[in-house]
Structure 1
Amino acid sequence: MKTLFLDTSSRYLSLTIYQSKAVIYSNSILLKNRFNEELLSIIDFAFKTLKIDNSEIDEYYVVVGPGSFTGVRIGVSTALGLSLATGKQLYGITSLDAAALILNKYTKQVKISVATKLRLNEYAYREYDFKMNKYSDYLIVKKDEISSNTYILGDYYINVTRCYDHSLFKDFIRGYEPFYMRKSQAEINFDKAYSL
């Protein structure tokens, strides 16, 4: 079984392809704002490198946010197009959950907090206790509310698409709808203009 896992929620594009639980292709590229220009050619390059095509992918995963508003939409719509073309299922996972799984797997920490920048001084934030299997709600916090041991996505790069083989991965799977912690500025302006 082959699995394609895509993340466009940060300035990096990360693409990992698994055969069963083994990584057979992984690539992360700093694209900043060029996802719409480069994404399909990078996926095509991965398929050509492995000598496979999209019809051989059995399941798809995509990071649904929080993160780059435009990046998440491009990633989700691309993954959805690939999955619809084959009739295979598409699943989502948040960037916070995927990062926490990676940190737990490689650092063996059982208590982890992860945040990612939203707008202005706001951050999406979640705490994880892997020993007790307890996880906080997704919260919006200010920078000064974040402890110094919190892993902040964007300050350091982590390839979250490598979390697929974590034993708790399936516990964090969700739908593929983009997951935003707040409305976009366009939505806020629309609501103000129409008093919603």
Structure 2
Amino acid sequence: MLVLAIDTATKIGSVALYDDKIGVIGELNIYVKINHSAVIMSMIDNLFKMTKLTINDVDRIAITVGPGSFTGIRIGVAVAKGLCYGTEKSIVGINELDLLANNIEGFQGEIVSLIDARKERVYYSIYEKNSELKRVSDYKDGEIRELLENLKGKTPIFCGDGAIAYESIIKEILGEDAKIVTRANSIPRAVIAGQLSITRTEDNLYTLEPFYVNKSQAEREREERLSKNC
């Protein structure tokens, strides 16, 4: 099975082609300064050109559905669905926090995936890795300091751009020996989504939606305005 994987949930735009027998066929990762809509289709086109493959060779499309950037997630899901319409390709949504946790190799123990939600807030989930990786918490959002207070006495490894953004806070609360994945290894890679999608049941193309965890700031402000007018 050949999978085209797309990840636009953070500032890193990532596309990859993954084959269940060969492994990684090709992968492109780029820091997006403005908007994923300006680069994602060019990245996919270039990936196909460099690998001498086309969308017709693809069996499945894997797309990260969030949490992360509200705009980025919407763009990625729309692109993935657009590529599936009329091509009869199956689609699988992958959670961004799962992707980050699965990117860690050579570590046994507790893993905390963190995505920066700004202003010292994060999207997060907690995992245990022994012979296999298992998620042991819900997907949540909250204050980084509150999360860290609940992790005192434990020795997890932190990954994701939230771990990089709040490294100083992590070490302030848990100590200088707190384990944080390096900046390079905290990059979300679409190829991991492709690999995970191989064993997942396909999603319904028409009902697959972004996974935000919480409401956008615009939605919260709108609800506040409506409540005041009631």
When the two structures are superposed, what TM-score results if normalisation uses the length of structure 1?
Answer: 0.86
**Structure-2 residue corresponding to 1:130:** 129
The root-mean-square deviation of aligned C-alpha atoms, in Å, is 2.5
Q: Are the aligned partners of 1:6 and 1:75 in contact in 2 as well (CA < 8 Å)?
A: yes
**Structure-1 residue corresponding to 2:68:** 67
Q: How big is the shift at 1:165?
A: 3.7
1:116 aligned onto 2:115: yes
1:21-73 superposed Cα distances (whole Å, 9 cap, x missing partner): 41111110111323111111111111112222212210010111111111111
Distance 1:101 1:124, change over 3 A: same
Q: Are the aligned partners of 1:95 and 1:160 in contact in 2 as well (CA < 8 Å)?
A: no
- Would you say how many aligned residue pairs link Structure 1 and Structure 2? 193
Q: How big is the shift at 1:174?
A: 6.7
Q: Are the aligned partners of 2:91 and 2:202 in contact in 1 as well (CA < 8 Å)?
A: no
Q: Are the aligned partners of 1:5 and 1:15 in contact in 2 as well (CA < 8 Å)?
A: yes
Q: Which 5+ residue runs of structure 1 have no aligned equivalent? A: none
**Structure-2 residue corresponding to 1:78:** 79
Q: Which amino acid aligns with 2:159?
A: Y
Q: Are the aligned partners of 1:93 and 1:173 in contact in 2 as well (CA < 8 Å)?
A: no
In 1, distance between residues paired with 2:201 and 2:137?
A: 13
**Structure-2 residue corresponding to 1:9:** 9
**Structure-1 residue corresponding to 2:39:** 38
Matches of residues 138-177 of structure 1 in structure 2 within 5 Å?
Answer: 138-144=139-145, 145-146=147-148, 149-154=157-162, 155=164, 156=183, 157-163=186-192, 164-165=194-195, 170=199, 176-177=208-209
Q: How big is the shift at 1:118?
A: 1.6
1:144-174 superposed Cα distances (whole Å, 9 cap, x missing partner): 13358422425234233232446x9746987
Q: Which amino acid aligns with 1:33?
A: I
Distance 1:134 1:65, change over 3 A: closer
Q: How big is the shift at 1:181?
A: 1.7
Q: How big is the shift at 1:113?
A: 1.1
Q: Are the aligned partners of 1:123 and 1:140 in contact in 2 as well (CA < 8 Å)?
A: yes
When the two structures are superposed, what TM-score results if normalisation uses the length of structure 2?
Answer: 0.74
Q: Are the aligned partners of 1:61 and 1:90 in contact in 2 as well (CA < 8 Å)?
A: yes
Q: Are the aligned partners of 1:6 and 1:15 in contact in 2 as well (CA < 8 Å)?
A: yes
Q: Are the aligned partners of 1:5 and 1:62 in contact in 2 as well (CA < 8 Å)?
A: yes
Question: Share of identical aligned residues, percent?
Answer: 31
In 2, distance between residues paired with 1:149 and 1:173?
A: 31
SS of structure 2 residue aligned to 1:128: strand
Matches of residues 86-101 of structure 1 in structure 2 within 5 Å?
Answer: 86-101=87-102
Q: Which 5+ residue runs of structure 2 have no aligned equivalent? A: 165-182
